[in-house]
Homo-oligomer: A and B are copies of this chain.
């Protein structure tokens, strides 16, 4: 049997459930830390597990260029390579070809591009993207698509979306079903409700193990993102998982869960952690700020990560001022822990039938640091 998702509870549009994969089960809503190049940056796999994370994301674009998909397959697959024994979702590479690669040329069949690593030429098509994800051993394979740039005219968005729908059919045809593995379609259509609806119809006609909402968090703003979700998620099959790609801030996650999204990934907690930005129950903290230099309190007293359990803000501040690697290491760990705790709290809110109250309490907490800093 392919990968499945089991519905457990509903609270408004929000859902709690469990994803069943070849590498174990994952309670949803879930946030997947991003392990771009076979590592969640600045964390050991043991540390990622310690945060309660159950599923991570790998990037096809990075891994195909270095160390190479065939090489990872020869070494036993991505799970073995990065010591991650839970499920892994891989993206299709399409988004990052457009944002990272050098000279690139798109045609109806796929994209030819230059590696940002060494300038070498590569080609991705729906078939090759699915093959690479198979070589990596992905539990969830994503269809190869074009992430429609923002802003786009209705005509541009329609053309782009319809290309992605043709590529979705080719991805489906290329995908080799394996027990506990699945292929997700990606809804496109920019901020146009009619195009989103057309995209959902095209994808559900093909049929996938899950559905992603793509082309958001690309500059349209939170309000437009939420509006687009509101006109998209109700059209998606109720018995399949829904994944909002590349999103987002804690506020984005709360809003999207309330609009029926089950799965998330984002580089924000890891990237922010490396630059000294911490997400806490009291709000966002820039640990480099001088006001933390003699602050003996923990970063977030409600958090059980090593940064909060074992150290003061003063220490974390010192590590960043002294450019010590341990600073990014500890803040990344904390941010991943925060995101995992946030998702667990939202899930508990759904199961208790009080997601609105849960969300209100979390959001009220974020005022504390603003008052501290003022």
Find out whether the CB atom of A81 lies under 8 angstroms from the CB atom of B312: yes
Report the separation of the CA atoms of residues A44 and B325 in the bound assembly, to the nearest whole angstrom: 10
Q: Which of A9-17, A67-75, A186-194 contacts B (4 or more CB under 8 A)?
A: A67-75
Nearest CB in chain B: distance from A150 CB, A: 30
Tell which of B41, B42, B81, B315 touches A315, judged by Cβ atoms closer than 8 Å.
Answer: B81
Contacts A67-B314, A293-B71, A294-B75 given; does A42 touch B322 at CB 8 Å: no
Which residues on B sit within 8 Å (CB–CB) of A303?
none
Which residues on B sit within 8 Å (CB–CB) of A39?
319, 324, 326
Nearest CB in chain B: distance from A341 CB, A: 19
Tell which of B41, B46, B306, B325 touches A306, judged by Cβ atoms closer than 8 Å.
Answer: B46
Report the separation of the CA atoms of residues A75 and B318 in the bound assembly, to the nearest whole angstrom: 12
Any B CB within 8 A of the CB of A245: no
Query: What is the interface size of chain A, counting residues whose CB is below 8 A from a CB of the partner?
Result: 39
Nearest CB in chain B: distance from A40 CB, A: 8
Tell which of B75, B82, B83, B325 touches A328, judged by Cβ atoms closer than 8 Å.
Answer: B325
Which residues on B sit within 8 Å (CB–CB) of A319?
38-39
Contacts A71-B293, A81-B315, A318-B66 given; does A42 touch B310 at CB 8 Å: no
Report the separation of the CA atoms of residues A330 and B42 in the bound assembly, to the nearest whole angstrom: 10
Find out whether the CB atom of A37 lies under 8 angstroms from the CB atom of B324: yes
Q: Which residue of B lies closest to A311 (CB)?
A: B83
Contacts A46-B306, A83-B311, A296-B75 given; does A324 touch B67 at CB 8 Å: no
Any B CB within 8 A of the CB of A173: no
From 108 to 123 in chain A, residues with beta carbon under 8 angstroms from any chain B beta carbon are: none
Which of A43, A44, A62, A306 has the most B CB atoms < 10 Å from its CB? A44
Find out whether the CB atom of B321 lies under 8 angstroms from the CB atom of A67: yes
Q: Which residue of B lies closest to A65 (CB)?
A: B322
From 18 to 55 in chain A, residues with beta carbon under 8 angstroms from any chain B beta carbon are: 37-39, 41-46
Any B CB within 8 A of the CB of A329: yes
Which residues on B sit within 8 Å (CB–CB) of A67?
293, 314, 318, 321
Find out whether the CB atom of A324 lies under 8 angstroms from the CB atom of B41: yes
Tell which of B38, B44, B296, B329 touches A318, judged by Cβ atoms closer than 8 Å.
Answer: B38
Which residues on B sit within 8 Å (CB–CB) of A80?
312
Which residues on B sit within 8 Å (CB–CB) of A365?
none
Report the separation of the CA atoms of residues A105 and B325 in the bound assembly, to the nearest whole angstrom: 33
Q: Which residue of B lies closest to A42 (CB)?
A: B325
Find out whether the CB atom of A75 lies under 8 angstroms from the CB atom of B42: no
Contacts A37-B324, A74-B294 given; does A44 touch B315 at CB 8 Å: no
Report the separation of the CA atoms of residues A306 and B44 in the bound assembly, to the nearest whole angstrom: 8
Any B CB within 8 A of the CB of A219: no
Any B CB within 8 A of the CB of A177: no
Q: Which residue of B lies closest to A321 (CB)?
A: B66
Any B CB within 8 A of the CB of A237: no
Contacts A310-B45, A325-B328 given; does A315 touch B71 at CB 8 Å: no
Apart from A42-B326, A46-B306, A67-B293, list 5 A-B contacts with CB within 8 A.
A44-B329, A66-B318, A74-B294, A325-B325, A329-B329
